[in-house]
Structures are given as C-alpha cells and as structure tokens.
Structure 1
C-alpha cells in the first residue's frame, strides 16, 4: 500500500534537505520512493514554486498531471477565486473519488504550507517506519499524511499516469 505524505518545513531549504535524506534511506532499502514533488514558497511570492521529482520516479509514477491538479486544488483555487474554484472543485471531486484524497487533506495542506515554508510531497511504500522516523529526529518538520489503499493507488495511477513517450 502506498502512502501520500506531505512534510512541511519552516525554511525554504527544508524540503530539499529532507529529500536527500530520503534518497539515502531508499539506497538502504528502508523506503521506496514512488513519486514526489518539492514545493518552495518564498516570502512575498503570490504562489509557491513546484518541482516534480521525476529523477527518482520510474514506471508507474503518477506524473505531472496528478501533481499539477493537486497543487492547483491546494494553492491556486484560493488565489483565482470562485469561478475557477468551481471548475477545480469538480476536478477535486474526481480526485477524491479516483484517489481517496479528500477535501480535509487539501484544506490542511493549504493552511500549513504558506509563504516562507517548503514542503516535500511523496508517494512512498514499504517504509521501515522506526528507521525512517529515526532519520528525521530533531528535524523541525511537520508531517501531514493520508494513506491510500491499494485500490485507490491503482485508480490514481490509471487516472494520472504519464503517457509513454513515442
């Protein structure tokens, strides 16, 4: 079963540093990183910068379409207003049905990932929790998490998988 997690850091560099630690844990086979994205939100910016982590994702990764929709729901709907919000709301309903990502998850992330912070969004599995947790002891990070069932993960992959390049 995959887990979608969002790690929030109070500094712009926190998510990148955490990503390096997670890559090391993956090399030790303590976690499988399936897909992810880094969000940094500089103070004074109207919206965050996002980067899909295609470098460690392979076959079966969710891809940019999934992350674009999720980040649109989280960060753009409040900025763009009601007209666009209604369209994204319909997409959000599809995301909840397709992947089990509900409105409370979106709201919680929206409230916690704010200007001056960074976040690491990960789809991972097979984590050796005590070892992974131990690697982050003493970090100034906040974990927001939602678990996806095997069926929900499969529906997400089907809905948002990248098309193979010709």
Structure 2
C-alpha cells in the first residue's frame, strides 16, 4: 500500500529541488514513487500544479504502440500490414492522448488544489505517493532541505521522524541577519 506525504516549503523552489533529489534516489532504488506533484503558490495567489507524470504523452505513446500492433495484425488479414501499422498507430496515438488527458492518476487533483490554496504566497508543497522506501537513507539524503509535514498517511512515529529530519535542516540563525519565516497554514489532519 502506498503512503501519502505532503511536505510544505518556505520558498517556491524547494519542492522542485526535493523532487529532483527524490528522482535521483529512485534511480538508486532507495525510494519508489507512484506519483509526485509540486504545487507552487505565486505572489498573486494563483496555484500552479506540476505533475511528474505527463499522462497525455504517456497515453499517446502506449496508445500508438498498441494501435500499431493491432493495425499490423488486422492489416495482415487484408494483405497490407504497413497500411494497418500506419493507420492503427495514428488512431492509437489520438485515442491514447485523449484518454490520458481525461484520467486522474495517483494523487487526486482536487486534494492537491485544496492544499495548494492553504499555502502562503511564494511557497510550495510536494505531494508524494510512496510505494516503498528505505527511510533512514532517504532522510539522510534530504537533510539539507527545511520543510514541514502538512499531511501524511504515515504512522505517528514515522511522521515524527520525517518532521524531525525536515526540522534539523540548516536554518539561518538570527545572528545571520535573516528574519524567521512564518509557518504555512495547513488544515488539520
């Protein structure tokens, strides 16, 4: 079963940076993500959502391959497999792209928008649907990022460990002349 984790960050770029790092960790088999989405609230209050999986292109690709395969097989019946390949591929690409644009895969877009609306301007949030992970190694790799857990389906102990790791990140001391950043508004879990 996948675990949902939503982490808020105090600037609009950290969620993207953490997702890039998690993608690297996924290539090293330290974490397996089912879905990941970045929500960024701009200065004017609009929420921009960046999906990690482009369903339109994924649907077009798989639809094109399936259409070409079936078109070739049907084309063999009419002694013209190349025409069947071309026509089947074109129909598959179109239908796959259309179905990809209509599917909501992974994390619900309405949920993402509702949490995104609670963010302060010039902040971001990272929504993760995690299949498997090696928590100790992943948390060690993400030690440089400061954020806070907004929502999660983790156990209380796991959520506390994640929050502790996000809090331990380097935070500027008042002697460095940087104002402390306020916390983002979040709905209770």
Aligned twin of 1:128: 134
TM superposition shift of 1:147: 1.7
Aligned twin of 1:70: 111
Q: Deviations over 1:106-162 (max 9, x none)?
A: xxxx3xx221101111101211000010011131221234227xxxxxxxxxxxxxx
Within 1, Cα distance between the matches of 2:116 and 2:32?
27
TM superposition shift of 1:18: 0.4
| Conserved 8 A contact 2:34-2:131 | yes
- Gap runs ≥5 in structure 2: 60-102, 155-189
- Gap runs ≥5 in structure 1: 77-109, 149-166
Alignment coverage as a number of residue pairs: 110
Aligned twin of 2:45: 46
TM superposition shift of 1:65: 8.5
| More RCO (CA 8 Å, sep 6+) | 1
Within 2, Cα distance between the matches of 1:135 and 1:47?
31
Aligned twin of 2:3: 3
In angstroms, what is the RMSD of aligned CA positions?
2.9
Aligned twin of 1:33: 33
TM-score if structure 1 supplies the norm length? 0.57
TM superposition shift of 1:26: 0.5
Within 2, Cα distance between the matches of 1:135 and 1:55?
26
Please say which structure displays the higher CA radius of gyration. Answer: 2
| Conserved 8 A contact 1:37-1:67 | no
